[in-house]
Chain A
Amino acid sequence: MATVTPHRRPRKIGLRIALAIGLLAGGVFAGFPVFWMLISSFKTNTEIFAYPPKLITEGFSFDAYLAVLGDPEEIRFFINSYVVALSVTALTVVFAILAAYAFSRYEFRGKKVLNVIIIGTQAVPPIALIIPFFGLMVSLGLYNTYAGLILTYIVFTLPYAIIMMTAYFNTLPKELDEAVKVDGAGAWTALWRILVPISVPGIVSVAVYTFMISWNEYLFALTLTRTNDLRTVPVGIQLLIGQNTYHWNQMMAISILGSIPVLILFLVFQRYFIGGLTSGSVKS
Chain B
Amino acid sequence: MTALRTGRVSSRFGSSRLARKATPYGFVAPTAILLIALMVVPIVLVISYSVSTGSITSKDAPFTGITNYVTLLTNPDFWNAAFNTLVFTVSSVVAHLLIGLGFSLMLNSRLLGSVPRAIFRVIYILPWLFTAAIIAVLWRLLLDPQGVVNYLLQAVHLAGSPIAWFGDPGAALFAVTVMNIWAGYPFFMISLLAGLQGVPADLYEAARVDGASGFQQFLSVTLPQLRPIIISMAMLDVLWTTQQFALIWLTTGGGPISVTEMLSTFTYKLAFTGFDFSMAATSAVIVLIFSLIVAIFYVRSQRSES
Whole-angstrom CA separation of A268 from B67 in the bound complex: 54
With contact pairs A5-B213, A127-B264 given, residues A215 and B131 touching in the complex (Cβ less than 8 Å) = yes
Please tell me the size bucket of the interface on A. Answer: 35 or more
Question: Does A134 make an interface contact (CB < 8 A)?
Answer: yes
Contact indicator A117/B39 (Cβ below 8 Å) = yes
With contact pairs A19-B106, A123-B239, A252-B141 given, residues A49 and B216 touching in the complex (Cβ less than 8 Å) = no
Q: Which residue of B lies closest to A265 (CB)?
A: B129
Contact indicator B288/A128 (Cβ below 8 Å) = yes
Contact indicator B123/A31 (Cβ below 8 Å) = yes
Contact indicator B134/A126 (Cβ below 8 Å) = no
Nearest CB in chain A: distance from B48 CB, A? 9
Which of A12, A23, A48, A126 is packed against the most chain B CB atoms within 10 Å?
A23
Q: What's the dominant secondary structure at chain A's contact region? A: helix
- Name the one of B41, B46, B281, B294 contacting A123, with C-beta atoms under 8 angstroms: B294
Whole-angstrom CA separation of A226 from B14 in the bound complex: 48
Nearest CB in chain A: distance from B220 CB, A? 12
Question: Does B148 make an interface contact (CB < 8 A)?
Answer: yes
Nearest CB in chain A: distance from B187 CB, A? 9
Question: Does B130 make an interface contact (CB < 8 A)?
Answer: yes
Contact indicator B10/A188 (Cβ below 8 Å) = yes
Contacts of B242 in A (CB 8 A): 125
Which of B42, B45, B102, B213 is packed against the most chain A CB atoms within 10 Å?
B42
Q: A27-B124, A130-B271 are in contact. List 19 more A-B contacts (CB 8 A).
A: A29-B182, A33-B182, A34-B126, A36-B142, A48-B141, A98-B31, A123-B298, A124-B39, A130-B284, A131-B277, A132-B42, A132-B49, A134-B271, A186-B11, A189-B11, A218-B133, A235-B133, A278-B191, A281-B191
Interface residues of A (CB under 8 A from B): 1-2, 4-5, 12, 15-16, 19, 22-23, 26-27, 29-31, 33-34, 36-37, 40, 48-49, 51-53, 94-96, 98-99, 101-103, 105-106, 108, 110-111, 114, 117-136, 138, 151-152, 154-155, 158-159, 162, 184-189, 191, 215-216, 218-219, 223, 233-235, 237-238, 241, 248, 251-252, 255, 258-259, 262-263, 266-267, 274, 277-278, 281-284
The 7 closest A-B pairs by CB, nearest first: A186-B11, A123-B295, A216-B131, A234-B133, A188-B11, A132-B42, A102-B27
